[in-house]
Chain A
Amino acid sequence: MNNIILRAEKINKHFMAEGIFGAARYKVNALVDASVEVKKGEILALVGESGSGKTTLARIISGLEKQDSGAVLLDRKIPDYKNPDERRKVQYVFQDTYYSLNPRMKIKAVLAEPLKVHFGLKKEKLNEKINKMLQSVGLGADAMEKYPHELSGGQRQRVGIARALSVNPELLIADEPVSSLDVSVQAQILKLLSDLNETTKISIIFITHDLRVVKSLADTVAVMNRGEIVEYGVVEEVYANPRSEYTKTLLGAVKG
């Protein structure tokens, strides 16, 4: 197996949660020995109820949070996220479409910045590339001169995706990228992610609560419960033959 892009091995992470009304702080095990892997071009879905540790795992993989123990391997080695060329390999798309874009920057500037920083693009080359990027996420050139609050949630999420893709990542982490959007828009953004995955063979970790989406979008699925991965495998197999009680309940809730 040499096409494994990402491997997370036995990740553990705890948080100290504030007790309510000054009650003593207590320990939350956000992740317990969580392991997943993603191959090139593969879409892995992380599902599980609220608080099960999906975001924490995604943040650790992307370097936004540090694990207590366990290892994240990118292209078979521990990534040095201080190195720009390794840093750009994993990018993140956020749930909150408004705050994922700097409210004081025009879309043009949002997209130009990573291109300047990583590839030193300038002037015509830069504009050309921004145009291409907007096109690739289904936006027109007129978006360039707009501020985030002048765009719809769906359009902002397209910009967020374009920004993440601008640095040619190998792995895109999308943390509930459509849950703040209207249902009609959700389908469009999901289609966009699916198309991008088809055409560019980018690997995606997709976090969602929606098991129907998992089936239509993902290749593999990891079901999380209280920080543990309770079920993990190819989507069809897991759906046809769930092994853990927890997964059965989840699937039952969808069918029923």
Chain B
Amino acid sequence: MNKMMKAGLAVVILIVIAAVFAPVIAPQDYRKQDVSNRLMPPSKAHVMGTDELGRDVFSRLVRGTRVSITVGVLAVLISAVIGVLLGIIAGYFGGVIDNIIMRGVDIFLTVPTLFLILMLIVFLGPSVFNIVIIIGLTSWTDIARIVRAEVLYIKKLPYAEAAAVLGFKKRRIMFGHILPNAFAPVLVYITFGVSGAILAESGLSFLGLGVQPPEPSWGNILTSGKDYIDTAWWLVLYPGLSIFAAVFSFNLLGEGLRDYLNPKLDREG
């Protein structure tokens, strides 16, 4: 593990702890309004200041961590499950099945993902559930292609062929022998994917189509803060930093994992 990866991992762990223990960490109720104390700059009582309704920005950010990370992780897990399944089926069976799946991928690729997400959210409405499902359902194509390529290679390796000659069932070969050896790139992808999904949610919030207030996400805190950017910089700076730190550290972790897992596999070989 290199230093950058360790730094990324440390921040990711911090973020996850904040998300899990949000109610304990937040000094105040993230919903509590106090109009007499609106738009107060950072102070002892409110380390990151207050917003236009007098709510504690730090508490809202901590709560938003939970929402943003949940959206990011769940969306990626959905896309990973779909992508891994379709990728392994396409790669292992090949032929017509592969053709059908890969044409499906091509169709998805011709439509810009963000556009597709926007359309679906406009139709279905921007609930957390819908956002997770929609981001998840629209971003499996990369992982499907990565897994398919891995499977095409691994299924020709002697241990996979030995499994076939030993008479193991296809399912056993796919999930017991091929998938575990194709998992390194999946893990890397998942890590990058979380930051992608967090960014996607922030982008949606910017268009008013992300997680809806009063439920705070980093994206919608930043978006509502931008109206006060001249007078209350803290409303923009802290959520912006949070998004940046999360995206940056997940990407560092992903890059680190990529370097860490690849040479290891080569070393074993």
Contact = CB atoms under 8 A, between A and B. Distances in A.
B159 interface: yes
A201 B132 CA distance: 62
Contact of A114 (B166, B181, B268): B166
Contacts of A231: none
A91 B268 CA distance: 25
Interface in B160-186: 161-168, 172, 176-177, 180-181
Interface string A106-123: 000000011001100000
A100 B177 CA distance: 12
Query: Is chain B's binding surface mostly helix, strand, loop or mixed?
Result: helix
B178 to A, nearest CB: 9
B269 A64 contact: no
A92 interface: yes
Contacts of B180: 102, 104
B181 A167 contact: no
Given A99-B159, A149-B268, A62 B165 contact: yes
Interface string A58-85: 0000111000000000000000010010
A101 to B, nearest CB: 6
A106 B68 CA distance: 40
Contact of A103 (B161, B166, B167, B268): B268
Interface residues of B, number: 20
B162 A94 contact: yes
B157 interface: yes
A88 B158 contact: no
A96 interface: yes
Given A94-B158, A100-B159, A117 B168 contact: yes
Nearest to A92: B165
Contact of A64 (B161, B176, B268): B161
A21 B180 CA distance: 35
A117 B167 contact: yes
Given A94-B161, A103-B181, A117-B168, 9 more contacts: A62-B165, A84-B167, A100-B162, A102-B159, A103-B265, A113-B166, A114-B166, A117-B172, A118-B167
15 contacts: A64-B165, A88-B166, A92-B162, A95-B158, A99-B157, A99-B159, A99-B269, A102-B163, A103-B265, A103-B268, A104-B181, A113-B166, A147-B268, A148-B268, A167-B167
